[in-house]
Structure 1
Amino acid sequence: MTTELRRLRNYIDGEFQDAADGRTTEVVNPVTGEAYATAPLSGAADVDAAMAAAEAAFPAWRDVVPAERQKLLLKIADAFEERAEELIAAESENTGKPLGLTRTEEIPPMVDQIRFFAGAARMLEGRSAGEYMEGLTSFIRREPIGVCAQVAPWNYPMMMGVWKFAPALAAGNTVVLKPSDTTPASTVLMAEIIGGVLADLGHPKGVFNVVCGDRDTGRRMVEHPVPAMVSITGSVRAGMQVAESASKDIKRVHLELGGKAPVVVFEDTDTAKAVEDISTAGFFNAGQDCTAATRVLVHESIHDEFVAALAKAAAEIKTGAPDDEDVLYGPLNNANQLAQVSGFIDRLPAHAKVETGGQRVGDKGYFYAPTVVSGLKQDDEIIQNEVFGPVITVQSFTDEEQAINYANGVEYALASSVWTKDHARAMRLSKALEFGCVWINTHIPLVAEMPHGGFKKSGYGKDLSAYGFDDYTRVKHVMTSLDG
């Protein structure tokens, strides 16, 4: 007996639509490894329709006063809270995430972030007007950019969607958002909610649009002549392709492309507390987090003690089904990701040691055991490249200089942390570490008021904060003669 699959649809100009040519792709629940829905495999006609809708809606939305844009976002935040259980269920089916942790760790920050950008809508700033040339007054206008093409990743489909649409709408832009082909369900539900609020407030239908599809769909969005800005969270390879494509017509580009966060642990730290916090920050969401605490550097004097304690903590962490309240994380997102994580472990050099884990869990779905690997060298593949799974590596360092060299010795530069009781040392490391974020004696907390974004191959542009809001505006100089 064949179970009928749920049908997800694009959201274009206020209407749910199938792909113009009827093509679909199956959406798989990573807990079971079985399809539960179909989603449009959108082609050129669908991208054209979404861009046309966003372009048509832009002039009216651009001219809406900030207070009204704030009102829209506040009502979206309220609606997300009211329909939180539906969003949680959709996200869990998308990703296999634990229901309880999605309820406590994702919905509240998402709602808070939307409300932050609602306030930011009314805080457009520029340098004060003044006479910088005799007889002439200059002032600055901050304006929306236009249509924004946005591509969200599969590790946090809902939250990364919020990080993209909230500042864009707050600044007066219109949006075409594409979720990952493996996780469209929660984004389609968000479209229903946002569309309802837009309609209730009488705003243009095309302000917010969702197009489902694969890499080719995303490529068509980036190459399309309408968007003035492209924002993507994804792999370095994807970011490079987007930047190259967008350069052909000088689109503005916003890239968040992953990380390889160093976690630098000095000998004076509280080892038990550090192990507890680092293991949680490393294994949360199955390590599928660009800022995950998965590359630990430990002073040689406490290395063996730390590795033993971390391996013990990891062995006690549980992965399992979303409704199990005792699990810290669920499955990897898809079969390809399971193969990638397994491949890193299978290719470990002879000098590496798997302290715990290192294998798939069960024969259904894409679960992987919490894993700790020690004995590694700086140029090992697993140190240099992003695993994006529940794998924590541990290296030993001899002094502060070596710790800094190891920490900075990768191509990523998104986030990092320092663990020490020595304030001066913490300040030296916070200056020396070449990462967009440096946490001290903690790892992974984010707040709406502070920027998130990296350097080097982790990309450019900021999410969250006033800096993230500014990225969705353009600056215009206006000069007027005082002679009348």
Structure 2
Amino acid sequence: MSTTTATAGVEITDREQVFIGGSWVESAGNDWTDLIDSFTEQPAARVRLATPEDINRAVAAARASFDAGVWANTPIAERADVLDAIADRLEQRIPELTQIGVLEVGVPVSVSTQVQQMSVGLFRNVAQVAREFVTSEDRTRTDGGVSRIVKEPVGVVGAIIPWNGPVGTMAFKVAPALAAGCSVVLKTAPEAPLSPSVFADVLGELVAEGRIPEGVISVLCADREASEALVTNPDVDHITFTGSTATGRHIMSLAADRVARVSLELGGKSAAIILDDADLNHVAASLPIGSCMQSGQGCVLLTRVLVSKARHDEVVAALVQAYGALPMGDPNQPQFVLGPLASKRQYDRVMGYIDIAKEDGASVVLGGGRPEDQPTGFFVAPTLLDNVDPNARVAQEEVFGPVVSIITYEDEDDAVAIANNSIYGLSGAVFTEDLEHGLEVAGRIRTGTVSVNSATMDFTLPFGGYKQSGLGREGGPEGLEEYFQTKTVHLPMAR
């Protein structure tokens, strides 16, 4: 086993095995994925890829563990205690996870630390929600008798997560699934393979200590072929996926063949409407990070900014100043809030969209390419595109980089129509000094989350999308509910 030492002094270790049923074991194959440091553009570590056979072994272990009923029949409060134990052990590993986050996603160390802390908090939040969750209640029937409504774990869960926030999305899916009593096969992205391996180490400790039964949880890094093996395996009762809408459609079509349950958290092209009475100080304080966090590598970000003709020039000038002030540089240095994109492929994709936008008539008023002071690394400067047509590709498709489209509207009705002119409906924002009116406008936007005078993100509350941004919710009791089936038991009439 070889190791390299990261710039923060954290040892990054190659992973030669796969994690099935609670233990590190040999893979059925010999394929690897290489993690490339997005700042130095040099290899950082190698991780073994799972094969379809490995996936099927993990599903078989999950099926056997669930059918045995040991975890499913453990009181939900005790399962919540295990989530707290996971949180405690992940918290001890925050320095390691922080540095891995810098390598995997390109986020600066200061941001990565916050992301890891938030993810730990999500496990604790789900534990608390689980302790308060009602799994059985009696209701009176129309005939005067009593029936019992029971919430039962859905079964074996196949959880598929993306590369842009692995620890957080693991918390979104694994925490409520375990709390509900399900067994889980977690499939992680080849682009971000190391932080899930640390998570697997934590789970392995708890399995070895007898706090999680063997077979309940597997963590496998795999490519598309192995992912399809997970989705199509008849022993998987529920698929939960976070990623692109195109992949979500494919997963949904595969699951339809056997009517498997799916939860999908997909893409976004969220709009921020700046009304004419908006205070630009509020806009400048929240919108830049709200659209460029993680260098724009997030589905929830506000990547369309809608301004009126009357205030266009004033708003654009304020945005250029605010976005231009975002510090971008070496992600290992704490003074920066933006780093490189995660990969060369992502860099090429983002630059391609900027070129397409210019061909479609948009004008670059800020950024538009690699910062001059960053000769290496997959950097794209915060980019503002003005004069963007609402129907242009850059205004309709998810770029996944620090690229913001400025779109001009005629009046408020036009602004709402433009905001809703999208296949997506994940997030949004309204900026106005009239909060009640802001709530009214928020109610007209067809999207799962809307902020007023901010870009608030609190993933302990229900999060999910309308339209092609997905199905179901993550966070809060609503996120836990996804992993239960509802059973009605009719009791006999009293005699």
Please indicate the TM-score interval, normalised by the length of the shorter structure: over 0.9
Match among 339, 363, 366 for residue 356 of structure 1: 366
The one-letter amino acid of 2:329's match is: G
1:275 corresponds to 2:267:
no
For 2:266, the equivalent position in structure 1 comes to 257
Counterparts of 1:146-295 in structure 2 under 5 Å? 146-295=155-304
Match of 1:460 in 2: 471
Q: For residue 400 of structure 1, what is the aligned residue in structure 2?
A: 412
Asked if residue 316 in structure 1 is aligned to residue 301 in structure 2, the reply is: no
Work out which of the residue numbers 74, 78, 82 in structure 1 matches 2:92. 82
SS of 1:478's equivalent in the other structure is strand
Q: Is the 8 A contact 2:18 2:49 kept in 1?
A: no
Contact 2:52 2:225 (8 Å CA) reproduced? no
Aligned partner of 1:466: which letter? P
SS at match of 2:338: coil
Which of these residues, 52, 70, 75, is aligned with residue 65 of structure 1?
75
> Does 2:109 match 1:99?
yes
The one of 32, 52, 70 equivalent to 2:40 is: 32
Whole-angstrom distance in 2 between the partners of 1:128 and 1:95: 45
Q: Which amino acid is the alignment partner of residue 77 of structure 2?
A: A
Match of 1:139 among 136, 139, 148: 148
In 2, distance between residues paired with 1:161 and 1:471?
A: 15
- Aligned residue for 1:477, secondary structure, equals strand
Match of 1:337 among 334, 346, 349: 346
How many Å separate the matches in 2 of 1:6 and 1:82?
A: 17
Kindly provide the CA deviation profile for residues 224-244 of structure 1, in whole angstroms up to 9, marking residues without a partner as x.
111100011011110000000
Closer, same or farther: CA 127–440 of 1 in aligned 2, 3 Å? farther
Q: CA deviation at 1:3?
A: 8.9
Matched residue type, 1:233:
T
Query: CA offsets per residue over residues 355-396 of structure 1, 9 Å max, x none?
Result: 011112434321111111101111111001111100111111
Q: Please give the alpha-carbon distance, in whole angstroms, between the structure 1 residues aligned to 2:107 and 2:388.
A: 30
Asked whether the equivalents of residues 3 and 14 of structure 2 are also in contact (C-alpha less than 8 Å), the reply is no
The Cα shift of 1:96 comes to 2.0
Cα distance in 2 for residues equivalent to 1:187 and 1:447: 20
- Report the counterpart of residue 51 of structure 1 in structure 2: 59
Give secondary structure in 2 for the equivalent of 1:379. Answer: coil
Greater Cα shift, 227-236 or 33-42: 33-42
Q: Is the 8 A contact 1:110 1:162 kept in 2?
A: yes
Report the more deviating stretch, 396-405 or 325-334.
325-334
Q: Deviating runs (4+, > 6 A) in structure 1?
A: 2-5
> Contact conserved, 1:135 with 1:483, CA < 8 A, in 2?
no
Q: CA deviation at 1:262?
A: 0.4
Maintained 8 Å contact 2:439/2:452: no
How many residue pairs match? The answer is 481
What does residue 377 of structure 1 align with?
389
| Structure 1 residues 422 and 44, CA gap change in structure 2 (3 angstroms) | same
Q: Is the contact made by 2:137 and 2:150 (CA closer than 8 Å) also made in structure 1?
A: no
Q: Take 2:30 and 2:451, find their aligned partners in 1: how far apart are those partners?
A: 48
- Quote the Cα distance in structure 2 between the aligned partners of 1:263 and 1:50: 43
SS in 1 for 2:404: strand
Instruction: Work out the CA distance in 1 between the residues paired with 2:415 and 2:440.
Output: 12
Match of 1:410 in 2: 422
1:114 Cα deviation after fit? 0.8
Q: Which amino acid aligns with 1:7?
A: D
Q: Which residue of 1 aligns with 2:9?
A: none
Q: Deviation of residue 457 (structure 1)?
A: 0.7
TM-score of the two chains, using structure 1 as the length reference: 0.95
| Alpha carbons 1:146, 1:228 under 8 Å: kept | yes
For the residue of structure 2 that corresponds to 1:163, the secondary structure is: helix
Q: Residue 435 of structure 1 aligns to a residue in which SS?
A: coil
Letter in 1 for 2:408: S
TM-score by length of 2: 0.93
Deviations 1:415-466 (A, max 9, x none): 0000001233212212110000111111142141x20000111011101111
Post-superposition shift, 1:126?
6.1
The letter of the residue matching 2:485 is R
**Cα shift at 1:13:** 1.8
Amino acid at match of 1:378: P
Deviations 1:145-194 (A, max 9, x none): 11110111111111111111001001111111111110010011011012
Structure 1: segments with no counterpart, 5+ residues: none
Find the aligned partners of 2:490 and 2:360 in 1 and give their Cα distance.
Answer: 67
Report the secondary structure of 1:457's partner residue: helix
| Residues 164 and 3 of structure 1: CA distance in aligned 2, closer, same or farther (over 3 Å) | closer
Residue equivalent to 2:447: 435
- The CA distance in 2 between the partners of 1:350 and 1:56, in whole Å, is 55
Partner residue in 2 for 1:125: 134
User: Matched residue of 1:396: which SS?
Assistant: strand
What secondary structure sits across from 1:161 in the alignment? helix
Q: What displacement does 1:140 show? A: 0.4
Distance in 2 of aligned mates of 1:251 and 1:33: 41
Pick the aligned partner of 1:115 from 99, 120, 124.
124
Between the two proteins, what is the percent identity of the paired residues? 32
d(CA) in 2 for partners of 1:155, 1:281? 16
The alpha-carbon deviation at position 325 of structure 1 amounts to 1.8
- Structure 2 CA distance, aligned partners of 1:260 and 1:46? 36
Cα 1:373–1:210 change in 2 (3 A) is same
Task: Specify the code of the residue in structure 1 equivalent to 2:110.
Answer: G
